[in-house]
Amino acid sequence: MYFGLTDEQKMMQDVARDFAQKEILPTLKEDEANHTFRPELVKKMADLGFFGCALPEEYGGNGCGFLESVIIAEQLAMVSGSSRLPLNMQNIGPAITVNKFGTTAQKERFIPDWVSGASFGFFAITEPNSGSDVVSMGTTATDRGDHWELNGQKMWISNAHLGDWGLVYAMTDKSKKYQGMTCFVVNLKGNEGIITAPIETKLGLHCAPTGEISFSQAKIPKDSVLGEVGQGFQICMFQLNNTRISCAAGALGIGGSAVEAAIGYANERTQFGKKIGSYQMIQAQIAEMVAEHEAAKLLVYQAAWLKDQGMPNQYQTSMAKLFASEAAVKAACDTMKIFGSYGFSTEYPAERILRDSMSLRTVEGTSNIQKTIIAGIALGDVTNR
């Protein structure tokens, strides 16, 4: 098998790397310290075509697929783990999901604005008491005849307080459990029944806006339903299987930045008259980091390639997300060890890399959930899709 990138993919990789170095890195320390999100960067990403992957050209697609999106996300996360999130909010999450399940009118109305950055996207699944157990969510949508009424609360939602149009999952019939969930396309702005608030007490991803959404008798139009009433769980699982690959790509970037930082410091720092990279224990740490990073890359790229071929990939996607996330956290921890006391300083990237990496074990399905999915398919209890 040939694992090289095409000339077009290399060009996309170079464009993303150049963007991260020139547009994100110069203000990164200041932005991290002040938890600053720069909306203008999202528009610049859109102008470069970052959000058009795996979408038809008539809705703003660029002819690229999931693999190209992975390549972009990896390069952005190499500089800042926060900078990968717009790919999920504008492209891999809402846009691709609406393209799969939406009506022609919904596709024409929403996808071009997400792709162009004219509208900030989001998707709201998690709640204060509902995480991995999605069906236990308490948010409800009630048919009031001429509109739907939303009630409930969503938590840890990216772009919650900044988002325009996005996807909200709610129970329309709790007695039906999995068959009682429905997905809605919702506008968070200008609705007196919707209140949003930022969450700023986060360990990492300081430049990625996160918040909560409260619905109190919020009225949304009848044509807000995505797909069919009761199809929400299927839509949710489809979406998560896609956004997971973006998370795995982010893990590649964060893990890659940890490897790069550790190697650079090991070649620079001297102790006992020799650079610390000449000591076997440091070499062993770096060797494991490099090997695990390269293995993660193969898994992530394979899963993305399978998606682009329209082949079953849930098994491979969960393996990629699990392995890449855990490898990134391990690499970040080892990088802190190699940096020693300087790892604690915000003057060096080690502490930020570690903080950002810790989110990877949770977002888009925890590591334990990925193990459950992998084991279920491996044991033959569930079909790979």
Read off the pLDDT of residues 242-287 as tens digits, 9 standing for 90 and up.
999 999 999 999 999 999 999 999 999 999 999 999 999 999 999 9
> Which region holds residue 364: left if phi is over 0, alpha if psi is between -120 and 50, else beta?
left
Whether residue 240 sits in one domain with residue 222: no
Output the six-digit token pair for 270. Answer: 């001297």
Read off the pLDDT of residues 295-317 as tens digits, 9 standing for 90 and up.
999 999 999 999 999 999 999 99
Whether residue 15 sits in one domain with residue 38: yes
Last residue of a domain, one of 205, 230, 255: 230
Whether residue 370 sits in one domain with residue 238: yes
- Rg of the chain over all Cα atoms, to the nearest angstrom: 21
pTM of the model: 0.96
Report the candidate in 302, 208, 195, 191 with the shortest Cα–Cα distance to residue 252.
Answer: 302
* Distance between CA atoms of residues 227 and 122, nearest Å: 18
Determine the longest span between alpha carbons in the chain, in angstroms: 79
∠ CA 355-317-75, nearest 5°, is 50
Whether residue 110 sits in one domain with residue 71: yes
Model confidence at 1: pLDDT above 70: no
Report the candidate in 298, 287, 356 with the shortest Cα–Cα distance to residue 324.
Answer: 298
* Distance between CA atoms of residues 310 and 169, nearest Å: 25
What kind and span of H or E run contains 244? helix 232-268
Whether residue 247 sits in one domain with residue 222: no
Whether residue 252 sits in one domain with residue 142: no
Whether residue 191 sits in one domain with residue 88: no
Last residue of a domain, one of 173, 196, 230: 230
- Where in the chain does DSSP place strands (E)? 123-124, 140-143, 148-158, 165-171, 181-187, 194-198, 210-220, 225-226, 270-271, 274-275
* Distance between CA atoms of residues 202 and 295, nearest Å: 30
Residues in CB range of 108: below 8 A, 6 or more apart: 59
Percentage of the chain beyond pLDDT 70 is 99
Whether residue 297 sits in one domain with residue 329: yes
| 193 in a structural domain | yes
User: What's the mean per-residue pLDDT of the chain?
Assistant: 97
Read off the pLDDT of residues 108-147 as tens digits, 9 standing for 90 and up.
999 999 999 999 999 999 999 998 899 999 999 999 999 9
> Which residue among the candidates 74, 326, 351, 364 is catalytic per the annotation?
364
364 is catalytic: yes
Residue 144 is predicted with a pLDDT of 97
The structural domain count of the chain equals 3
- Under the banding of pLDDT at 50, 70 and 90, the label for residue 4 is confident
| Dihedral (Cα; 229, 90, 158, 212), 10-degree rounding | -50
Whether residue 358 sits in one domain with residue 222: no
DSSP SS3 for 168: strand
Output the six-digit token pair for 302. Answer: 């394979």
Model confidence at 3: pLDDT above 90: no
Q: Phi then psi for 269, rounded to 5 degrees?
A: -75, 135
Last residue of a domain, one of 58, 86, 116: 116
| 384 in a structural domain | no
CATH number of residue 323's parent domain: 1.20.140.10
Whether residue 159 sits in one domain with residue 111: no
CATH number of residue 68's parent domain: 1.10.540.10
Rounded (10°) angle between helices 314-339 and 350-358: 150
Instruction: Give the domain range for residue 369.
Output: 233-379
Cβ atoms 313, 384 nearer than 8 A: yes
Cβ atoms 163, 188 nearer than 8 A: yes
Whether residue 262 sits in one domain with residue 352: yes
